[in-house]
Amino acid sequence: MADAESDGDGSVVILSDDEDFECPAGENVLLIMKEGILPPELQVLYGLCLLSGGNSAFLGVKMLSALHDLDQDTREDFDLQANTSHSDSVSLRLFRRAMVEPMSKLDAFAFASDILKKAEKDGEWAESILPIFQGYIDELEQQNTFTLLKDATISNNIIASVKTGNCVKVLLSTLRMKIGRARNLSKSSDSTDLKDAYDSSLGVVDDIYLFKDALWTTTPDGNPISDTVEVSKLFTPGAMQSSTTLTF
């Protein structure tokens, strides 16, 4: 983040990424881009643009696979104590993460989940994108990150709450694609495909039960939370039929 300063035309610079490109690492990024290779962050964004536009799906999926090349979240965010959750330092940390720091892998997967949800093409993309998300789900499980979703206690830590929300987004997106794939397989007359669809659907139910504290709950006034509504839509006939093209 740069100090506010005025240039010749009187404008004020609030944020600047000049220092990111003036350092050796930044020079390497520019050199790679001059050779026609996008860094992982831009590959992901470009892939999402292609997919949401409804064309060039093959290239979009190839670009989206760069999600796995992004950096993991730092443990320092998980270790911040709840009693500092509303401090200026944490608020500044969140602001900096959103504005100037590179996307972490979890943030990028959560952002991709938002875009894929709005596009409503879970069945169409299930075969190609589900392996990308399932691979990351397996990675999060190995890191015990999903313990955040197994605790019914509401966290007072802002960053922990943000991470929990992002984990839920990635999980729901994966479940939607699993159901989309199961629906595609259920249209087959092959017994193997039908069994695969059945097993996949049961797996979704098992995941919902495993993370029921985060996915199936209500607000203090008894209304279902938004994630619970999304879970109920998973098994609603026609809920994921696609006719939407995103407009940015």
Cβ-Cβ contacts under 8 Å for 231 (sequence gap 6 or more):
172, 175, 208, 215, 216
Q: pLDDT at residue 85 above 50?
A: no
What's the CA dihedral at 224, 226, 228, 234 to 10 degrees? 140
Percentage of residues in the chain having pLDDT higher than 90: 15
pTM: 0.71
The residue among 183, 136, 182, 145 whose CA lies nearest residue 165 is 145
Strand partners, 12: 6
Predicted confidence (pLDDT) per residue in 187-235, tens digit: 888 999 899 999 999 999 999 988 888 888 888 888 888 888 888 888 7
Helix, strand, or coil (residue 232): helix
DSSP letters spanning 143-173: TTGGGGGS--SPP--HHHHHHHHHHHHHHHH
The answer to whether the CB of 124 falls within 8 A of the CB of 242 is: yes
Mean pLDDT of 80-96: 55
- Alpha helix stretches (DSSP H) within the chain: 18-22, 24-34, 40-52, 57-64, 75-79, 88-99, 105-119, 122-142, 158-186, 191-210, 212-215, 226-234
Confidence at 123, pLDDT banded by 50, 70, 90:
confident
Predicted confidence (pLDDT) per residue in 45-82, tens digit: 888 888 877 767 788 888 888 898 887 766 555 444 44
Q: Exposed/middle/buried for 53, CB within 10 Å: 0-12, 13-18, 19+?
A: middle
Structure tokens at 219: 């607000």
Cβ-Cβ contacts under 8 Å for 45 (sequence gap 6 or more):
none
